[in-house]
Structure 1
Amino acid sequence: MAAANTYYAVSADQALSEAQAVLDEHVTSSSTGRCLACDSLGPCWRRESATRVFSRTLRLPTRQPGATRPELVGAVRLSVPGLRATR
C-alpha cells in the first residue's frame, strides 16, 4: 500500500510565507540580469524554487514595486492621467 501525504493549511501558509521571503530577497536586477542576493546570472535556483511553491498552490506572490531597481537602466516613473498610484 502506498503512503499518503497529508498537507494542512497551516503548513501551506508557512510554505508560502517562506517562499515570499525568498522572492523578496532574491530579486533579478533589471540592469545586470543577476540575482541581487547571490549574484548568480538570471533568476537563481532559490528564486525558481520559491516560484514553484506559488505555482503549485495557484497563488500569486506579493509584488514589491521597484525591487528590480529599474532606475539603473534609465527607467523613470511616469504619471498617467486616470491611473491611481498603488502601494
Structure 2
Amino acid sequence: MRRGWRGRGYWPGAGPFSHLPPWQRPGWLYGPGACWYLYDSNRTVLPPINQLKPEDENLILNDQKQAIVEQQKINQEMLKKIEARLKELKK
C-alpha cells in the first residue's frame, strides 16, 4: 500500500527534508539555501563592513581599551581576595 505523496512521504519534494512539511524545512525557516552549506564548505557569507572614520575608530578603540583595563583591575582585586582566603584556609 502506498502512503502519502507518491510513496515518499506526505509532503511534495524529493530531498533530505521531504518528510517535513514545507513550513518546517530549513529553507522555509532560514531562507533559501540554508541547509546546503553542508555540501559546499567554500561558501562563506560575511557581514558587510562599515568603513569608519579614523576619529571614530580611535574613540571606539580607546573605549575598548579602558573597559579592558577596568576589567583587569577587577580581576586583580578578585585574585587578591582569593589568595587571601586560600591563606586563611591553609592555617
TM-score when normalising by structure 2: 0.27
Q: Which has the higher helix share?
A: 2
**Structure of greater relative contact order (alpha carbons < 8 Å, 6+ residues apart):** 1
TM-score when normalising by structure 1: 0.28
Q: In terms of Rg, which structure is larger?
A: 2
